[in-house]
Chains A and B, each alone.
Chain A
Amino acid sequence: SQELEQSPQSLIVQEGKNLTINCTSSKTLYGLYWYKQKYGEGLIFLMMLQKGGEEKSHEKITAKLDEKKQQSSLHITASQPSHAGIYLCGADRAAMEYGNKLVFGAGTILRVKS
């Protein structure tokens, strides 16, 4: 089983609709990262959350880290075809002074229908 569980595994939405992707851990998260990956390409950094209750937004994408720091959600408002791709959450397990050794979820495949 994955240390980080992402849900759903895949998602097809109509353009213009809102959607939410979840990332759940059974352990405390010291840092939670969201990345987007286009098929066959590299990872694009979206956001990083560290504090319980923290919420960040970038354009139409909002990510939250719950108070207990064990779950994060990524919300996309008014989805567009450009949002299509694989969304990965990554977690920093150790309270290290530096560095980013990340554990990743299996990913959520998002397709946006025009």
Chain B
Amino acid sequence: NAGVMQNPRHLVRRRGQEARLRCSPVKGHSHVYWYRQLPEEGLKFMVYLQKENIIDESGMPKERFSAEFPKEGPSILRIQQVVRGDSAAYFCASSPRMTRANTEAFFGQGTRLTVV
């Protein structure tokens, strides 16, 4: 998976707590994408970020979810006041800051969030 690192791999939270999911892109990649894979559903786009900018958040739930990709450090997907329906696998992908020709999107191993 070409170096996209996500942590933690597994996260258990009680209802009402906050979940923070981290993603370090492939070295040199400045584009980060977050996807969610709900049980029995496909992979859905959530948000697309570049360093310090949210480019497209059309797939993000309107409340409780936020994402950032600071100048330094990993991208963070933050879920406040988690509910059972947030239980899912969250994947991060990164791609280089180049044109689309031969551009692969490399995915991390995912963070599996379980809300109890």
A residues 62-106 in Cβ contact with B at 8 Å: 88, 90, 92, 96-106
Once A96-B100, A101-B56, A103-B45 are accepted as A-B contacts, the answer to whether A43 and B107 lie under 8 Å apart by CB is: yes
Interface size range of chain B in the complex: 20 to 34
Q: Which one of B31, B44, B97 lies within 8 Å of A104 (CB-CB)?
A: B44
Residues A41 and B110 in contact, CB atoms below 8 Å apart: yes
- Which A residues have a C-beta under 8 Å from some C-beta of B? 2, 30-31, 33, 35, 40-45, 48, 50, 88, 90, 92, 96-107
B residues 1-25 in Cβ contact with A at 8 Å: 1-2
* CA of A35 to CA of B93, assembled, Å: 12
Report the nearest B residue to A30, measured CB to CB: B100
List residues of chain A with CB within 8 A of the CB of B44.
Answer: 104
List residues of chain A with CB within 8 A of the CB of B102.
Answer: 48
Nearest CB of chain A from residue B35's CB, rounded to whole Å: 8
Residues B43 and A100 in contact, CB atoms below 8 Å apart: no
Nearest CB of chain B from residue A45's CB, rounded to whole Å: 5
B106 contacts A by Cβ under 8 Å: yes
* CA of A106 to CA of B38, assembled, Å: 11
Residues A2 and B42 in contact, CB atoms below 8 Å apart: yes
B91 contacts A by Cβ under 8 Å: yes
* CA of A90 to CA of B108, assembled, Å: 16
B residues 24-50 in Cβ contact with A at 8 Å: 31, 33, 35, 41-45, 48
Q: Which 9 A-B pairs have the closest CB atoms?
A: A100-B105, A42-B109, A43-B107, A104-B43, A106-B42, A100-B95, A104-B42, A42-B110, A42-B107
Q: Which one of A33, A42, A104 lies within 8 Å of B1 (CB-CB)?
A: A42
List residues of chain A with CB within 8 A of the CB of B100.
Answer: 30-31, 50, 92, 96-100
